[in-house]
Structure 1
Amino acid sequence: MSGAARPVRLVSVVIPARNAERTIAGQLEALGRQTYPDPWEVIVVENGSSDGTRGLLRSWQRRMPRLRVTFAGAAGVNRARNIGCRQADGEFVLLCDADDVAAPGWVAGLVDALRTSPAAGGALERRRLNGPLALAARPPKKAPALLNTFGFLPYPAGANCGFHKELWSRLGGFDESYRGGGDDTEFFWRAQLAGYRLEFAPDAVVHYRHRSETRAIVRQAYGFGRSHPKLYREFAAAGMPSSPLADAAGAWWGLLAHAPDLLGPTDRRAALLAQLALRAGRAAGSARHRRCYL
């Protein structure tokens, strides 16, 4: 385990933060409870907040000496990640989000995986921070694992992942043209296609927070869907499967069959609207990127 293995010189935790006044204190408190014994730092990249995030971070800098704060402007999550990675002094870089809560063994779990693999992703626990509506819109997976939404290559969520800084540098960082979806997927697919191994770290757990209001759920699902044709345009030649029209037609027919849910309980309505938004996003993305992925 971490304490018995060769110490890593320094680990950097990078957190993009936009309008995180209500949640980031919980994440910083969780990071303060980490069991990892060797040196590490935290870099929060404030990403154009309009609430009190900046002031809150200033107060946390007085409480948390290893916390650094930098500013990205409202330039997207991958821009914030790249700024944080560029400023990171650690040989390993770990990413988490400002609205989640890292379990005490999170840093140690990812570091252990990164000792033998250049990239890793941890487990997302989805029940602790989410109510019925959020869970209905994005149901938890049956077992913790890396994500594999597209039947292509696995990938971790940007909310719980890590990599060698050297890998980030060799890949040229995160692709800042991805906004609203695909931002983490693209990076880890590119890493694997370049020959780098990706490992799952089951002991690196993050309590993951979904959107909790229907409007926010729908907006996020639309962004996810709109990114899928962009991913297909860039990775079809590497083997990413297409989205057959028959499958898309079946999905739309199923959504139509569940139309009465729009007048039903709030959680069922949110789940249906999320799927509608995802499919609408794919249609919009297909038109924008000129690649059919419905």
Structure 2
Amino acid sequence: AAPGAARPRSQADGARTRDDTTVVIATRARPARLAECLDSIAAGTILPGRVAVVDNARPDDQTEKLIRGYRIEGSVVEYVREDRPGLAHAHNAALRCVVTDLVAFTDDDVWVHERWLENITGAFDADPETVCATGMIAPRELDTVAQQWVEAQGVYSKGLRRLVFDNAEHRADNPMYPYAAGAFGSGANMAFRTDQLRAIGGFDGALGTGTVTRGGDDLAVFYDVIRHGGRLTYAPSAIVLHPHHRDYAALRRQVYGYGAGLGAHLMRCVLDEPRAAVTMVRHHRAAAARLATILNPPPARGLPAYPRDLSRAQRSGLATGPARYLISRYRTRGDVRERIAT
């Protein structure tokens, strides 16, 4: 069937609907990829009760036309428009509309595994204390050296073991915990208990792709879950497939953005929790060692050495991140986070 065509499902297909779950997809001007993502959700063993697609800072009406005509039997497919650019703004716009107990987020350019929703919502069923669940992000392809460098750097891979994080007995053995939030997962594969996500203020509108900070919104919300006494579970069986950048120029822009987002997140930690600065200074050697591993991943068998140019780009982004966050926070002062919690 063509992308965007109705995907009728029935009990004969083996699928059932979780009426307590909404899946949110933020998008901007990528209707073809969005249709593929929706098709993969429609092919799942579990269907969400609702799907909310957020059209962020749209340049045209192509996404709206796609969603107005898209059907998944057993699910309500909803179009949400958010004109302010930024992934966090888009996610908060959807969050205001969510009426289900659970809300899962993924990106418009991924394919979700058929058991993705079953397994990521299963983390909440298995542990009533879990506030946030994340899952594995695997590559859709590894055809180019640039894609293989992404995988070698470990940006998305969090391992094959189930992990639990909180501020009690499940603290990671890392002196920078919980500020080093990259170990918790990534924003393309995350889910929350809706009321508790609202209680911590939703997503920080000063962060995210589409803002001057270039990212960091997922790091911040994971950190907020832990900081406010919640539990985060990483469920590697909840799998989505991500298209790593194929060419070097796009990869370089991406790693710069990763650095900027990380620097912005760390500045936010210091502003919101001043003792974070003390922790970072006290454990600066451990932090520097961890950062060196991220910036200079060990060589993978059969793969050219990770380019120093990419390491420099990420380091440059990291250095600009704090200033970027201050600028973005000023621009978004009094913005949507305060309204989400009310």
Q: TM-score per shorter chain, which class? A: 0.7 to 0.9
Is 1:144–2:160 an aligned residue pair? yes
Is 1:225–2:259 an aligned residue pair? yes
Which residue does the alignment assign to 1:135?
148
Matches within 5 A, 1:189-268: 189-236=223-270, 237-238=275-276, 241=280, 247=288
CA deviation map 1:128-173 (0-9, x unaligned)? 3343222213425483367999952342211111010011110111
Matches within 5 A, 1:1-294: 9-36=19-46, 40-50=49-59, 52-61=62-71, 66-115=76-125, 116=127, 117-126=130-139, 128-132=140-144, 133-139=146-152, 140=154, 141=157, 143-144=159-160, 151-153=176-178, 154-179=183-208, 180-236=214-270, 237-238=275-276, 241=280, 247=288, 271-286=307-322
Assess, with a 3 A threshold, how the Cα gap between structure 1 residues 16 and 246 changes in structure 2: closer, same or farther: closer
CA distance in 2, matches of 1:171, 1:19: 30
State the 1:283 CA deviation.
2.0
CA distance in 2, matches of 1:272, 1:285: 20
CA contact (8 A) 2:136 2:158 kept: no
State the 1:74 CA deviation.
4.4
CA contact (8 A) 2:204 2:220 kept: yes
State the 1:73 CA deviation.
1.8
Instruction: Classify the secondary structure of the residue corresponding to 1:204.
Output: strand
State the 1:188 CA deviation.
1.0
**Unpaired segments of 5 or more residues in structure 2?**
1-16, 166-171, 209-213, 297-302, 327-342
Assess, with a 3 A threshold, how the Cα gap between structure 1 residues 66 and 288 changes in structure 2: closer, same or farther: closer
More divergent stretch after superposition (202-211 vs 185-194)? 202-211
CA distance in 2, matches of 1:240, 1:111: 34
Instruction: Classify the secondary structure of the residue corresponding to 1:152.
Output: coil
The count of residues paired between Structure 1 and Structure 2 equals 270
Amino acid corresponding to residue 102 of structure 1 in structure 2: V
CA distance in 2, matches of 1:246, 1:91: 37
Query: Identity, % of aligned pairs?
Result: 25
CA distance in 1, matches of 2:120, 2:136: 10
State the 1:223 CA deviation.
1.8
CA deviation map 1:71-100 (0-9, x unaligned)? 112420000001111111211000000000
State the 1:190 CA deviation.
0.9
CA distance in 1, matches of 2:175, 2:81: 34
Amino acid corresponding to residue 285 of structure 1 in structure 2: G
Q: TM-score, normalised by structure 2?
A: 0.68
Aligned-residue RMSD, C-alpha: 3.4
Assess, with a 3 A threshold, how the Cα gap between structure 1 residues 142 and 16 changes in structure 2: closer, same or farther: closer
CA distance in 2, matches of 1:142, 1:88: 28
CA distance in 2, matches of 1:104, 1:72: 29
Instruction: Classify the secondary structure of the residue corresponding to 2:266.
Output: helix
Instruction: Classify the secondary structure of the residue corresponding to 2:118.
Output: helix
State the 1:224 CA deviation.
1.7
State the 1:200 CA deviation.
1.5
Instruction: Classify the secondary structure of the residue corresponding to 2:70.
Output: helix
Amino acid corresponding to residue 10 of structure 1 in structure 2: D
CA contact (8 A) 1:121 1:161 kept: yes
Q: TM-score, normalised by structure 1?
A: 0.78
CA contact (8 A) 2:217 2:265 kept: no
**Unpaired segments of 5 or more residues in structure 1?**
1-6, 256-266
CA distance in 2, matches of 1:270, 1:55: 42
CA distance in 1, matches of 2:258, 2:309: 14
State the 1:46 CA deviation.
0.8
Assess, with a 3 A threshold, how the Cα gap between structure 1 residues 56 and 213 changes in structure 2: closer, same or farther: farther
